[in-house]
Amino acid sequence: MWPNASFNRPLIWGGVIALCLMPWLPGLELRLCALIPVILAGADILRLMRRLHLRRELLEAAVHLSSDGLLISDSQNKVLAVNAAFSRITGYAPEEIIGRNPSLLSSGRHDEDFYRRYWQALAVHGYWEGEVWNRRKQGDEYPEWLRARRMERAGEVFHIALFSDISRHKAREEDLQRIGLEDTLTGLPNRRRLSDLMVSRLGSLRAGEALDLALIDIDALKSINDSLGTEGGDRLLKLFARRLTELARGGVAGRIGGDEFVILRTTAGGDHGEWIEELRSTLTQPLEVDDQILHLALSIGSCRAPEDGRDPEVVMQRLESALYAAKRHGRNIDMRFQPALDSGADLQLGLANDLRAALESHGQLQLHYQCQHQASTGKVSSVEALLRWQHPLRGPVSPADFVPLAERHGLMLRLGNWVLREAVQQQANWRRAGHRLCIWVNVSALQLIQGNFEASLAALLLEYDVPADSIGLELTESVLLDERAGDISRRLATLRSRGHQIAVDDFGTGYSSLSYLKDLPVDKLKLDRAFIRSLPGERSDAAITMAVLAMAKGLGMEMIAEGVETAEQREYLVSHGCGWIQGFYFSRPAPAADVIERLNGYESGQLSMAMA
């Protein structure tokens, strides 16, 4: 509230009347009495002046504290006043701008028509708002968001302009646009931008021209990162990207994944094989990173358009087919696409289309659940959700076939989200029926990288009224070490704080990094079935199993052994302190209804299930 700044009118009028009557009053005493209202009226006027002065000081302080620049001009557009933010933004002190025309700030970017519309809006509507580019005293141009108002008082016209410097906002917009088209680490075009460039290059091919493409994978990049550290690995990728850019020479180089780069060129009769040899020769030259000399091994898949296809999607799929063929043949080799290279290419493409259709339809995809048992008693408290695909023509399709297919054809994110929703929905059904089984769900790298995973999961749990502690999350070692997932430790800690348990799946089969494991908020390790299969007879597997069990115990984690199929394996694991087992010895994966039928109304934590 502003301090009261109004006259005490009866008191003022009384003082005026007394002052007028004083000369006519007889006697000193009456005159002195008449002086009292005069003095009181004068005091009231003084109070009013002080409060008006206070109001002015408060307004000036508020104006100068504002982060927005303020400029007031007259009808001739001469500056009357500015605030401190004006000087801070433009570089002009008040004495340098007052009395001058604000056109002093003009950047020259706007034409006469722009300013005509500006003044017309003020004259007609009394208000204008929009983006303006001006020039600071130092000479650099900057964008501002300007709000201007026209005021008319006592026959005089004034203009009040309030503006904010939006340079940072514009820079963020440009960064976001650039990030959408560039790889943030190397600055090379990303997959989206490369796709646009490929469409452009294919569409502009003239008679006799071809487009050569190569997809390059740095073999064993994760082990290099383990040796150099994350920052060293980033420096390596930047050096590699710089070398690849130098090779492009009028072509295009880009990065589409953690260890995958693309280079393409338009050529008129150039030899494709010689080009690939030049790429390999140059890109495998030693690189020095952190005083270490590195010799890279590269797998290269290549193709040529329009010989190998004109459609950009087809060309990219064939490029990927060539790369995967190179990897299958032992890595560190080159493969050019040809139909005989992957005789099942058309079959695979058709199967990928069928998988897309399965995601849209109902009934083909289904979750089966395999129980996880307490090793010593057989009691069940949780299940793992496993995806199954019943193809309408081919019958059951193995996850070993359709999961890599989903990864290659960009379906992994949709597939992972489908599994997550189905598992949460099933959990809601089980809880309504009184069953308390924690469902473990596998989380892919793409879900963490592209899918706004934490927010999506929280929304899903809220939609079905399912508590977080009833959905466990399994991540493989490769996901935990994928740099694209960001600060994985912080993200897992957030999920864990909400109530989710975290497990490392297939432990021991990937690029194990004990330093990562030590720092990550993980509840359980799932020892891969590869180490269980030969127990207890195979000495090396037994030694690895005992070591992992000891490590898990030392880190305060529980251990789940996968693929337990025999009584001997179970007894060995129990004798060495393994808490939980999963495998055919107790139960095979089954549809939700079959799992509940086996539970047969018992509380999950009180049931010992018979062997499958």
Range of the domain at 536: 347-604
DSSP state of 152: E
- For tokens 């797998």, the residue is 299
- What pTM was estimated for this model as a whole? 0.48
From 314, 343, 372, give the residue that closes a domain. Answer: 343
From 343, 370, 396, give the residue that closes a domain. Answer: 343
pLDDT at 178 over 70: no
Kindly indicate the confidence band of residue 300, based on its pLDDT and cuts at 50, 70 and 90.
Answer: very high
Structure confidence at residue 271 (pLDDT): 87
Residue 183 Ramachandran class (φ > 0 left, ψ -120 to 50 alpha, else beta): beta
Residue 612 lies in a domain: no
Residue 2 lies in a domain: no
Residue 98, domain CATH = 3.30.450.20
Residues 55 and 89 in one domain: no
The torsion of the CA quartet 486, 487, 488, 494, rounded to 10 degrees, works out to -120
Find the mean pLDDT for residues 473-489: 73
Residues 337 and 365 in one domain: no
439 forms beta bridges with 383, 471
pLDDT at 347 over 60: no
Residues 453 and 362 in one domain: yes
Residues 424 and 508 in one domain: yes
pLDDT of 505-548, one tens digit each?
A: 877 654 445 666 677 888 998 887 777 877 777 777 788 788 88
User: Are 471 and 424 in contact, with CB atoms under 8 Å apart?
Assistant: yes
DSSP state of 182: B
Q: Which of 314, 319, 397, 322 is nearest to 355 (CA)?
A: 397
Across the chain, what does the average pLDDT equal? 82
Structure confidence at residue 467 (pLDDT): 94
pLDDT at 229 over 50: yes
Residues 477 and 561 in one domain: yes
Omega cis (within 30) before 306: yes
387 forms beta bridges with 367
Residues 121 and 139 in one domain: yes
Residue 493, domain CATH = 3.20.20.450
Residue partners of 319: CB distance under 8 A and separation at least 6: 213, 214, 215, 262, 301, 302, 303, 337
Residues 313 and 230 in one domain: yes
Q: Rounded to an integer, what distance in angstroms lies between the CA atom of residue 527 and that of residue 95? A: 76
Per the structure, the count of domains in the chain is 4
Residue 424 lies in a domain: yes
pLDDT at 587 over 90: no
Kindly indicate the confidence band of residue 197, based on its pLDDT and cuts at 50, 70 and 90.
Answer: confident
Residue partners of 222: CB distance under 8 A and separation at least 6: 478, 481, 511
Q: Rounded to an integer, what distance in angstroms lies between the CA atom of residue 591 and that of residue 266? A: 53
User: Are 524 and 559 in contact, with CB atoms under 8 Å apart?
Assistant: yes
Residue 535 lies in a domain: yes
Q: Which of 310, 304, 300 is nearest to 262 (CA)?
A: 300
Element spanning 357, H or E: helix 345-360
User: Are 136 and 91 in contact, with CB atoms under 8 Å apart?
Assistant: yes
Residues 418 and 566 in one domain: yes
Residues 157 and 204 in one domain: no
294 forms beta bridges with 287
Rounded to whole angstroms, what are the CA distances from 252 to 188, 192, 335? 9, 13, 20
Structure confidence at residue 1 (pLDDT): 39
From 170, 202, 224, give the residue that closes a domain. Answer: 170
CA 412 to chain centre: 17
Give me the percent of the chain exceeding a pLDDT of 70. 82
Residue 3 lies in a domain: no
Structure confidence at residue 118 (pLDDT): 92
Residue 412 tokens read as 């992994």
Residues 82 and 128 in one domain: yes
Residues 330 and 383 in one domain: no
Q: Rounded to an integer, what distance in angstroms lies between the CA atom of residue 480 and that of residue 520? A: 9
DSSP state of 363: S
User: Are 304 and 280 in contact, with CB atoms under 8 Å apart?
Assistant: no
